[in-house]
Chains A and B, each alone.
Chain A
Amino acid sequence: MRLEPIANPSFSRSVVPPALAIAATVVIASLLAMIAGADPFAVLGLIIKGAFGTKFALLETLNRATPLIFTGLAVAVAFRARFWNIGAEAQLYAGALVTVVLGTGALPWPGFALIPMLVLCAVLAGALVLLVPAVLKTRFGVDEVVTTLLLNFIFLLFISMLLEGPLKDPMGMGWPKSARLIADARLPRMFEGLRLHWGFGLAILCAVAVWVIQTRSTLGYEMRAVGLNREAAAFAGIPVNKVLVKTALLSGGLAALAGFSEVAGLKGSLTLDLSPGFGYTGIIVAMLALLNPLGVIVTAMFVAGIFVGADSMSRAAAVPTYLADMMLATALLLMVLAIMLTRFRVRRE
């Protein structure tokens, strides 16, 4: 077989394959539920109801979407320039680490000064963590996929070491857990009486900011050019390595905000299970959004909804929560295939 680019894809060409991908994902999920011996319609219904059915469920989904918007943006920014940052998990923990180091009493400032300071320092920490793979890539040509992946393991062990050492909460009953943030370091709720913190607002703000950078700034243009064709970009006089380093700094900073927002908005302290793989899930979020920063907001809510819905579903039906991860992995693979099929025609030879 052979792939042939389509010059002017028709409307149905650009809509049918993605719709089929979503339909196929639902069918596969139903089959998986049947394998587990459950009624597929009931399972899907429970997932949707558990994710969006009640006010409580919806708020839970928005809370779960918040870190995913940040990591999704981090991945979207990096992948757009074809810088493969698979290390959002490490950068997330870097942001969380700085938040507890400075926010548990080291800086006894009032909230209006402390929170911006924490945001700034978290961003710097995340950027710094990703700067290492970026420099290794631009200076030595070391592939960033492997270095960012391995840094996830290194960084998690580093956090574990700190939580059992200098950062350990003396009041924590022996658990590896940091002290709690002071009240001024906590993110307030966005609306009185609703369990939704300002981390969500910050995430939306970041998505808009990234969109502006990508579509309205020189850096955005350069990042896109580097992603499309590195040689052509270099030939056109774009400083490719500088652009890659800037991309990395932006991406790392965004991922770190996920850690900041989880600690300051939700958990109040740092533990080793702060992130159930938000860094990796960010890749799914970004790919489903076709690397569009505003689309990331939507897909993050969708992905968060599946996780929250599956959690509540598995309490009611005897289907393991891993159904959610399988659905998302399937959706990811089918969607990249579908997007390709909107632009290419498959010809038999």
Chain B
Amino acid sequence: MEIVDILISASFWAAVIRIATPLILATMGELICERAGVLNLGIEGIMVAGAFAGWMAVYSGTGLWTGVAVAMVVGMLFGLLHAVLTVPFGLSQHVVGLGVTLLATSSTYYAYRLALPQVTSPPKIAAFQAYEIPILSDIPLLGQALFSQTPFTYLAFALVAATSVMLYRTPLGLAVRAAGESPAAVAAQGLSVTGIRMGAVIVGSGFMAMGGAFLTMSAFDSFFFEMVNGRGWVAIALVVFGSWKPGKALLGAVLFAGFDALQIRVQQTSFGADIPYQIFLMTPYILSIVALILVSRRAQVPAALMIPFNKGER
């Protein structure tokens, strides 16, 4: 069976982890925002901005890690805008989020056209290269999949661990989770709900932008329009699928990437050749919706998600 051949090939599993990386970063970013009680629909646009900012920085001569930092800062600026409007001013998180996506996307395209007015095909940069971790990368199958990736991917996995530790093992994490569950209790403790929520949205947006930057700086080596292609929206679905828990969300991202990598390979088999390619491209989005239906019954939504907190009214 051709499918079995695919599933036991090391290159397949390496691709799964590669495809999962931007989703993992974006999903962690969204998860942090939502755990603090703020839905961030700016994610899709912030990923576009991050993808462009990191790539443009490296193209202008900075180092790769500086590029990642630039992407993160740009993401955090859009996060700041989102946070100011939704947290202290308590505006509709749906409308502001979509507005931020529109603004981030259009300003990215505007900046791209200004920076490179004449080009028809975008220039390439020297992107992150795979780094084989000694010994571990020699493990059959697993070594190829997990330990022969670019440093950007290792960073993504480290961030999942850090997010999990932060949320469940530190006072800060407790405060973030409480801001999303019962903000009045946080305020009663003398902590600033506004500060916690704004911080979460800003940091989370930085992670989203890194997810976008992975596309231009590690998965590919140049920037083109529509390259984020709904990954932000998928990340929002993954947060729900992961029941707002970092570990489960990571699992969801890998699972999703698995189906995505599989559909690309099945397209090339004799069996897949007869099926219109659009069917394959659709499956990841359809699976996202199916996953949402499956978990809907036992979803543990943060109780104060999307509910602005105004100390005046208690």
| Chain A proximity mask over B275-314: 1 for CB below 8 Å, otherwise 0 | 0101101100110110011001101000000000011100
Interface size on B, residues (CB 8 A): 50
Q: By the criterion CB–CB under 8 Å, are B106 and A326 in contact?
A: yes
Q: Could you tell me which residues of chain B, from 25 to 63, have a CB within 8 Å of some CB in chain A? A: 39, 41
Bound: A284/B99 CA distance, A = 8
**Is A147 located at the chain interface by the 8 A CB criterion?**
yes
Bound: A140/B240 CA distance, A = 13
Bound: A298/B186 CA distance, A = 44
Interface size on A, residues (CB 8 A): 48
Stretch at the interface among A160-168, A188-196, A228-236: A160-168
**Is B11 located at the chain interface by the 8 A CB criterion?**
no
Q: A36-B114, A146-B288 are in contact. Are A328 and B233 (CB under 8 A)?
A: no
Q: By the criterion CB–CB under 8 Å, are A154 and B282 in contact?
A: yes
Bound: A92/B7 CA distance, A = 39
When C-beta atoms are compared, the residue in chain B nearest to A152 turns out to be B230
A74 to chain B minimum Cβ distance, whole angstroms, is 15
Q: By the criterion CB–CB under 8 Å, are B230 and A164 in contact?
A: no
Q: By the criterion CB–CB under 8 Å, are A145 and B94 in contact?
A: yes
Q: By the criterion CB–CB under 8 Å, are B91 and A150 in contact?
A: no
- What are the residues of chain A within 8 A of B229 when measuring CB–CB? 153
With a 10 A CB-CB cut-off, give which of A86, A149, A160 has the most chain B CB atoms: A149
Bound: A2/B311 CA distance, A = 6
- What are the residues of chain A within 8 A of B85 when measuring CB–CB? 333, 336-337
When C-beta atoms are compared, the residue in chain B nearest to A327 turns out to be B106
| Chain B proximity mask over A248-280: 1 for CB below 8 Å, otherwise 0 | 000000000000000000000000000000001
Q: A2-B311, A35-B114, A143-B240 are in contact. Are A161 and B276 (CB under 8 A)?
A: yes
**Is A125 located at the chain interface by the 8 A CB criterion?**
no
Q: By the criterion CB–CB under 8 Å, are A332 and B292 in contact?
A: no
- What are the residues of chain A within 8 A of B114 when measuring CB–CB? 35-36, 320
Q: A329-B103, A333-B103 are in contact. Are A142 and B293 (CB under 8 A)?
A: yes
A118 to chain B minimum Cβ distance, whole angstroms, is 25
Picked from A142, A165, A287, the residue with its CB within 8 Å of the CB of B296 is: A142
B202 to chain A minimum Cβ distance, whole angstroms, is 17
Q: A164-B276, A322-B110 are in contact. Are A158 and B282 (CB under 8 A)?
A: yes
**Is A171 located at the chain interface by the 8 A CB criterion?**
no
Q: By the criterion CB–CB under 8 Å, are B288 and A332 in contact?
A: no
Q: By the criterion CB–CB under 8 Å, are A337 and B91 in contact?
A: yes
Bound: A344/B162 CA distance, A = 39
When C-beta atoms are compared, the residue in chain B nearest to A281 turns out to be B102
Bound: A150/B105 CA distance, A = 18
- What are the residues of chain A within 8 A of B233 when measuring CB–CB? 146, 149-150, 153
Bound: A90/B217 CA distance, A = 32
**Is B213 located at the chain interface by the 8 A CB criterion?**
no
- What are the residues of chain B within 8 A of A212 when measuring CB–CB? none
B272 to chain A minimum Cβ distance, whole angstroms, is 14
B8 to chain A minimum Cβ distance, whole angstroms, is 30
Q: A2-B310, A146-B288, A157-B281 are in contact. Are A140 and B96 (CB under 8 A)?
A: no
| Chain A proximity mask over B227-246: 1 for CB below 8 Å, otherwise 0 | 00110011011001000000
Q: By the criterion CB–CB under 8 Å, are B281 and A140 in contact?
A: no
Q: By the criterion CB–CB under 8 Å, are B109 and A280 in contact?
A: no
Q: By the criterion CB–CB under 8 Å, are A140 and B99 in contact?
A: no
With a 10 A CB-CB cut-off, give which of B81, B106, B240, B297 has the most chain A CB atoms: B106
Please report A residues at the B interface, Cβ cutoff 8 Å.
Answer: 1-4, 32, 35-36, 84, 86, 136, 140-143, 145-147, 149-151, 153-154, 157-158, 160-161, 164-165, 280, 283-284, 287, 318, 320, 322-323, 325-326, 328-330, 332-333, 336-337, 340, 347, 349
> Can you list 13 A-B contacts (CB < 8 A)?
A3-B312, A136-B289, A136-B296, A146-B233, A150-B234, A153-B285, A154-B286, A157-B282, A165-B276, A280-B98, A322-B110, A325-B105, A332-B99
Beyond A2-B312, A329-B102, A329-B103, 11 additional contacts (C-beta under 8 Å) are A3-B89, A86-B98, A136-B292, A140-B296, A140-B297, A145-B39, A145-B94, A153-B282, A160-B278, A320-B114, A322-B107
